[in-house]
Amino acid sequence: MSRPIRKAVFPVAGLGTRFLPATKVMPKEMLVVVDKPLIQWAVEEAAAAGCTDFIFVTSRGKSMQVDHFDHHEELVQVLTQRGKKAELEAVEAILPPDGRVISTRQPRALGLGHAVWCAKRIVGDEPFAVILPDDMVLADTPCLKQMVEAYNRTGGSVVGVMDVPREHTRRYGILDVAADDRREGSLVPIKGLVEKPAPENAPSTLSIIGRYILQPEIFDHLEKGERGAGGEIQLTDAMARMIGQGPFHGYRFRGTRYDCGDKAGYIAANLAFALERPDLAPAVRAHVKRLAG
């Protein structure tokens, strides 16, 4: 039987330079989609998948993401005094149980693999999830929950995957696969992984997005500190070394992914998630129709 996924790691130490000047002071994970910051969407997705411990890998000056999940006594008092029951419930609902939000530092920007390695002592010797908050997936069943259900059948490691245009392979970790039936909800056995290959060298167009279920053995490979693409410690390279040591699958998730690390993708996510809200959809649809002419 597969060991349960209890811990989720959120690498949130990046500077968010693509959103400057908005992210000069505010972490990019606090950018709001409709009415929740990206990090809240990510934590809620992890909780829906059964995770109970939420590990933030931060850097200097980026405590706001952790503070968002802390109790705010003054705000609670003001909302209570003003009779704002709905707002109070919304604020209280985001708080995980005491002691379940843990923060650790990535002191140097050495890549995603290094950020994940920084969580090693907190994760311990158990499988865990990794969520990149700026990758959002709109789905009936949250993406990580879909992956945990698949993991419970297969064990090993599972990464969320989708096809990308061939000219975009240099942006992603790309799978080398023996067979793929291309159906949503299907598992794809992985025989190799390549980080950010040139289009002409990419073994496929099947790309890893920001959702991972990993075995603790990944830390043995990350600990070596070997540099890959861009001179960084790449998570994809460490995962590639794990292939053959146990089951390793890509999961073609059901849903639509929005890259909120990109301005156009962020705007599209706001529209898509707003249109899912009955209280907002009519007005948003009317605005879009008017702007589109």
Which helix (H) or strand (E) element contains residue 77? helix 73-81
Tokens of 228: 């890959």
Predicted confidence at residue 131, as pLDDT, reads: 97
pLDDT value at residue 245: 86
**How many other CB atoms sit within 10 Å of the CB of residue 188?**
23
Burial of 278 (0-12, 13-18, 19+ CB in 10 A): exposed
Per-residue pLDDT, 1: 67
Cα distances (angstroms) measured from residue 141 to each of 11, 80, 145: 23, 34, 7
Question: What pLDDT score does 178 carry?
Answer: 78
Do the strands 187-195 and 248-252 form a parallel or antiparallel pair, or are they unpaired? antiparallel
pLDDT at position 274 is 96
Domain positions in the chain are 7-292
Count other Cβ atoms within 10 Å, centred on residue 198. 10
Contacts of 226 (CB under 8 A, 6+ apart): 233, 237
First CA to last CA across the chain, in angstroms?
56
Q: What is the pLDDT of residue 258?
A: 96
7-292: CATH topology: Spore Coat Polysaccharide Biosynthesis Protein SpsA; Chain A (3.90.550)
* pLDDT of the residue at 62: 75
> What is the number of other CB atoms lying within 10 angstroms of the CB of residue 245?
12
Q: In terms of C-beta density within 10 A (0-12 exposed, 13-18 middle, 19 or more buried), how is residue 64 classed?
A: middle
Per-residue model confidence (pLDDT) at position 180: 74
Distance CA 202, CA 152 (A): 30
pLDDT tens per residue, the chain (293 residues)?
679 999 999 999 887 788 888 888 888 999 999 999 999 999 999 999 999 999 999 988 778 888 888 878 888 788 888 888 888 888 787 777 777 899 999 888 888 999 999 999 999 999 999 999 999 999 999 999 999 999 999 999 999 999 999 999 998 889 998 777 777 778 999 999 988 899 999 999 999 999 999 999 999 999 887 787 777 888 989 998 999 888 999 999 999 999 999 999 999 999 999 999 999 999 999 999 998 87
